[in-house]
Structures are given as structure tokens and as C-alpha cells.
Amino acid sequence: MLGSFGTSLNIEGIKNNMAKKTIIANWKNHPESLAQAQEILDFTNDYLDSLGDFRELSLVFCPPFVFMEEVAKILQMSHFEHEAFLGAQDIAAEDKTALTGEISGPMLKRLGVDYVIIGHSERRWKLGESDEVVNHKLKTAIENGLTPVVCIGEKVRDGGFGKFIEDQVLKTFKGLGPDQIKRCLIAYEPVWAISTNPGAKPDTPDSSLESVNIIRDVLIGNWKLEIRNLPRVLYGGSVSSKNAADFLNRKEFSGVLVGGASVNKEEFVKILEITSKIK
């Protein structure tokens, strides 16, 4: 199933909003120590220092909660002050809740968080988060003034993947208005392409754009969003230095959501180096 929102329209309608690439580092439950986190950030900062006044990328670091306060302090220093933001990997569905282990929106705001990942495939498929739960978390993030990074993607690439994506988008964004949706980032995450999943195979830009066009079709058709107001889209299916350029060179993608590669300092800087060369 192909979306009717064609590639030529994508480029013409959104290219001005996608010049600056966004690289989101989702550290998941790594690294093992604050010293290792500091090492990743120092290595990244040294690379940014070598770029001088380059301002064509922005970074979002999403560390585990235990490192968040210290990472926030580091991001206020040196080149990170201009290029980097603090992100959270999750948020409680409700601010006023007594659920063990949950982290509320106000808590995240007090720590200096600007972005929050919503509906990551691991939370959807491995921890059982439903579209309804993801929808509640998305609304809570917006109510707290956070920028949601909304993960959308099919588990299998079969004949029904287009309908699956359409349903997922409708349920995930249910009850939101156009002004709220355009504040989001969308991370297209083809679950079948993620290397930690059995039988994973790499995705390609052309294949992923079939899904991205479906997402945009749904947003245009159901929320009457204009092309210039559509959320920016990132690619997030096992991003590495080997495939980052394939997606970053396409105008339809505003950046990448990086998982495991973001805690390998050399690999992560290779991705940033690739990004710095995008024209």
C-alpha cells in the first residue's frame, strides 16, 4: 500500500523545515556507569568543537533516568549548550499517579528535559503498551510542554502493513488537535528491521518512505494538516554509520533516532560526521 502523498510533494512542501538534522541518542539502559556516560559526551563534544561554528544539526540525548541529572549539567556546558538537548526515554501516562517506578511530566521538566520518546517499539511490543496507553502518554507530554518523539511502525512487512500503520496513527494521535500534532516529531521504526529482533533485515529509504507517506496521508486526511505543518520525520530502525547516510540524504527525513550505536562513542561520532556533510 502506497500513500498518495507523493515524494515530490514531500520535498517541496517540507524541505524548508528539514534543513537542520536532528540526531536523537536513545541510550536505553546503557551505559553501566556515569563515568562511561561522561566519556561518550566528552568524545562527542570534542567532535563538535572540531566543527567550529557548524550549526546544521541538533542533538538530543536520552539517558537512563539515573544519569539524567548529571547529563543535564554536562549539556549546559561547552558546545552542548548550543547543539544538545536532554530527552527522556519514557513518561508516566498521568502526572498525578502513585504507580511504583513511574516518572511524571513535572519531574522531567524540573530536570531540564525538553524531549520525550513516546511509544518506542520495545515498549509497545515487549512491554505490552497499547495504543491507548501511548496516546495517554503523548497527551501528558504535550500538556507538560515537552516535545514528543512519537514512534510509529509495523512489526511485519506484509500485505496488511499499510492498514496497520493507519490504525496505529489514528489511535496514537486520537483526541489531539492539529496544533498539538505539529509540535511532535515522528520516528518511523520498522520493527522488522531492528537488529535485535529475530529475522531482522535492513530497511531502505524507498521502502520506509512507503510507510512515511501513509503516516502523512492519515494526518492530512484526518486532521487537515497542511504539508508545511506536518511533523518532522526521523528514521529509527537500527541506525548505524553504515546506513545513516542513506536516510539522512533524503529530504523527507529530518534526522535519525539512534539506539545501540549511540552508546558507542566512535560509532556515534561517525554518524554525526556523516550528518555534518549532508547538503
Q: Taking a C-beta distance cutoff of 8 angstroms, is the pair 138, 148 a contact? A: yes
Helix axes 161-172, 205-223, angle to 10 degrees: 50
Nearest in space to 42 (alpha carbons), one of 85, 80, 69: 80
Catalytic residue of the set 83, 129, 166, 189: 189
Determine whether 79 is an active site residue.
Answer: no
CA dist 126 and 137 (Å) reads: 17
Catalytic residue of the set 120, 129, 136, 252: 120
Determine whether 136 is an active site residue.
Answer: no
Neighbours of 17 (CB within 10 A): 15
Q: For residue 233, what is the enclosing H or E element?
A: strand 232-235
Q: Taking a C-beta distance cutoff of 8 angstroms, is the pair 115, 62 a contact? A: yes
Q: What angle do CA 117, 121, 125 make, to 5 degrees?
A: 135
Cell numbers 524548508 correspond to what residue?
16
CA dist 157 and 171 (Å) reads: 20
Enumerate the active-site residues. Answer: 120, 189
